Structure 1
Amino acid sequence: MSPARQSPGVGRTIFLIATEESGDRLGAALMKVLRQRLGDAVRFEGVGGRAMAQEGLTSLFPIEELSIIGLAAIVKQLPKILRLIKLTAAAAIEAAPDVLVIIDSPDFTHRVARRVRARDGAIPIVDYVSPTVWAWRPGRARTMRSYIDHVLALLPFEPEAYRKLQGPPCSYVGHTLTDQLATLRPNAAEQQRRDGEPPVLLVLPGSRRSEIRHHMAIFGKALSLLQAQGAAFELILPTMPHLVEAVRAASADWQVAPKIVVGETEKRAAFRIARAALAKSGTVTLELALSGVPMVAGYRAGSIEAFIVLRAIKVSSVILANLVVGENVVPEFIQNDCTPENLAGSLRELLVDSPQRRRQVEAFKAIDRIMGVGDQPPSVRAADIVLATMRQGRRGN
């Protein structure tokens, strides 16, 4: 056992791995709380982005090196990916940390964790953000018991899923969105616009170029059909800076011209005045639900990806909002069902005071209770479990 793990009174070393921007933000918030608890004696090592760098981490490599999208790109870059996995695992073993925290990106971080566990079984390993074992490949949960000591879940139903799947201990720490409600919910003036005419309709085709490619044409046709059926609406399309040109090009031939707003701040401002939304399934459906915006969700992927995923899914819905509230209140149209006719028909019901709209609004009101809004921040809960796991050491040691 390393000297750091033998001497609880001296400085602690915590090794963290986050390879995406969302994980980088989670890691930074966790690091901040850990430093508050442990003081200047704590040392952080590992992999992270700009946010974690601001909290004192010098990353082994820029996380942009792993910004790889698409099956063909992954195959082409596989030698580099494997090299970075080996590099990260070796650095973690060399650091002999008091705890290793892997954050999301399971295709990368779990491979590192398995290597570390095989070489040094004394290093406790915490997984922050559960893989979607409840949706597909459920056998992963049981396999994780051999190299993960605790899972920190962002969604309230995940601990029970791990119990049923015989996975490692899992605790719900909360989703970071619950700390951001002030940016999602309307003030009096914004609520007045939300209730006003014409209604604001959001269209959210995704945050990746492949998603823009798969969704923009179908979403545009659905909106044209909706307008042709007599529905009036003001269309807003939030996107990110790196996608603006792709979005402009893809919407250039839409019969209904969207107002394109750029960046997270503008997106949240649009959420606060929106009457309804057409969204690509994903985390954005939970953002919309917390904002109280009824929605229709659609998803299309490449034929190979769709063939694999559709046959592997083990849940009745892939919409996070549905999974959190425990019922399928948000209509979802996946792959071949994602047609302009289906999307437009469901959207039309959400722009007026219909039973479908009221059902979603009422269901979303329960989310605060279900997700523990108002309790401790997720980063504080996460830090408590990381510290407890660190102090207990590796199970069985």
Structure 2
Amino acid sequence: MVAGEASGDLLASLLLVGLRQRWPQLQAGGIGGPHMAAEGFQAWWPHEKLAVRGYVEVLRHYREIVGIRRQLRDRLLRERPSAFVGVDAPDFNLDLELQLREQRIRTVHFICPSIWAWRPRRIEKIRRACDHVLCIFPFEPALLARHGVRATYVGHPLAGLIPLEPDREAARAQLGLAAGDEVLAILPGSRASEVHYLAQPFFEAAVLLRQRRPGLRFVVPALPALRAAIEAAARRAGLSEALQVLDGQSHLALAACDLTLIASGTATLEAALFKRPMVIAYRMNAISWQVMRRQQLQPWVGLPNILAGEFVVPELLQHDANPAALAGAVLDWLEAPARMAAVRDQFTVLHHQLRRDTARLATDAIEKVIEA
């Protein structure tokens, strides 16, 4: 298995639970993180090695990433596993899956690449690289079938992990927050490049928000490897009071908050499953931004908006993701409680749509691939 970032590590760990229930003697290894390790996974490389986003950023790490893929491919070709499961990270995994499948190793890709949002030409590589694709959104299998790709809708594993009614009071008690506090969760990303571009404007926005709403509290989940950079950005912004930096614990922060200022990515779907209004933002290297914008097929980048087919929550991208605009978008939510209630209802409907027995459905599909 290969999971290339924190969100993939979590998704893969949930899949491993189902695989071990089916095959108690399962041996699993490759690239992963702490959640996978907790399920007995042997990480030959840490998932942080692949947690790079943006064309320019990838180029800086290209030789190392290609070297890891070559070493992993050679090891898998020697050991001949029953199956390879690539978890997201399509730029890394699809090329690897293609090479493995050519040597008759069964390949499964967990999470369909977003061909419906951008880079539609990737579908041909998916067809050649994957014996089967496990889809987390209900419209994806039919789309893949039109191009000759076998696929199964398994639901989104986080929809089963996250409760339909999160316990805000218990989460606040765990964090030492009062039930009546107004709380904003700030999530500037799970990659170093995201923190580099987003943490500073996020925290400067928080300073502006405190000027308008002095009682506002902030919780910031931080991966251990990124905590120092996040705390440094907070200090530069002059934000120390009312700021609580957590060791990971993004789900605890989302359960406790009233709304979130959040980097575009899988975390936005997690926030939607916690029924939290949000302001989605993203910034990256200017060249990477120009390339990605030209390949975009839809007007939305945030998963909650893509799934709804409309701007349910605001998106502020690149130059628009400046402190004043971010603070203004957060204030718009805080000053419209009826709007916040309406989006919570909309996210509840989405939660029901995505909730399936993902581990069992995915394991059933993988078993069929192995036995084919």
TM, length-normalised to structure 2: 0.85
User: How big is each residue's C-alpha offset from its partner over 1:353-374, in whole Å with a ceiling of 9 and x where there is no partner?
Assistant: 44532332221121222112xx
Match of 1:155 among 104, 129, 137: 137
Match of 1:139 among 121, 124, 132: 121
Q: Once the 2 structures are TM-superposed, how far is the Cα of residue 296 of structure 1 from its aligned partner?
A: 1.0
Letter in 1 for 2:198: H
Question: What secondary structure is seen at the aligned counterpart in 1 of 2:299?
Answer: coil
User: How big is each residue's C-alpha offset from its partner over 1:11-59, in whole Å with a ceiling of 9 and x where there is no partner?
Assistant: xxxxx3445454444444434433433454x555655555556656555
The answer to whether the 8 Å contact 1:298/1:334 transfers is yes
Describe how 1:339-378 pairs up with structure 2 within 5 A.
339-372=322-355, 375-376=356-357, 378=358
Across the aligned residues of Structure 1 and Structure 2, the Cα RMSD in angstroms comes to 3.2
Q: Once the 2 structures are TM-superposed, how far is the Cα of residue 230 of structure 1 from its aligned partner?
A: 5.3
Letter in 2 for 1:123: I
Percent identity of equivalent pairs: 29
Alpha-carbon distance change, 79 to 184 in structure 1, aligned in 2, over 3 angstroms? farther
- Greater C-alpha radius of gyration: 1
Match of 2:288 among 284, 293, 305: 305
Question: What secondary structure is seen at the aligned counterpart in 1 of 2:256?
Answer: coil
Match of 1:123 among 90, 99, 105: 105
Letter in 2 for 1:363: Q
User: How big is each residue's C-alpha offset from its partner over 1:112-141, in whole Å with a ceiling of 9 and x where there is no partner?
Assistant: 2212233x2x43321112222222111111
Give the match for residue 86 of structure 1: 70
Structure 1's consecutive aligned runs of 4 or more residues displaced over 6 angstroms after TM superposition are: 191-195
CA distance in 1: counterparts of 2:21 and 2:171, whole angstroms? 37
**Structure 2, gaps ≥5 residues long:** none
CA distance in 2: counterparts of 1:18 and 1:276, whole angstroms? 28
Alpha-carbon distance change, 381 to 213 in structure 1, aligned in 2, over 3 angstroms? same
CA distance in 2: counterparts of 1:355 and 1:65, whole angstroms? 40
Letter in 1 for 2:220: L
Question: What secondary structure is seen at the aligned counterpart in 2 of 1:174?
Answer: coil
Match of 1:278 among 246, 261, 273: 261
User: How big is each residue's C-alpha offset from its partner over 1:320-341, in whole Å with a ceiling of 9 and x where there is no partner?
Assistant: 1222344321110111222333
Which shows bigger deviation, 299-308 or 236-245? 236-245
Give the match for residue 91 of structure 2: 107
Give the match for residue 33 of structure 1: 18
The answer to whether the 8 Å contact 2:51/2:191 transfers is no
Q: Once the 2 structures are TM-superposed, how far is the Cα of residue 315 of structure 1 from its aligned partner?
A: 1.7
The answer to whether the 8 Å contact 1:231/1:348 transfers is no
**Structure 1, gaps ≥5 residues long:** 1-15, 393-397
Give the match for residue 236 of structure 1: 219
Give the match for residue 272 of structure 2: 289
Describe how 1:178-327 pairs up with structure 2 within 5 A.
178-182=159-163, 185-186=166-167, 197-229=180-212, 232-254=215-237, 256=239, 257-265=241-249, 267-327=250-310
Q: Once the 2 structures are TM-superposed, how far is the Cα of residue 247 of structure 1 from its aligned partner?
A: 1.6
CA distance in 2: counterparts of 1:238 and 1:53, whole angstroms? 21
Letter in 2 for 1:30: L
CA distance in 2: counterparts of 1:201 and 1:54, whole angstroms? 30
Q: How many pairs were matched up?
A: 368
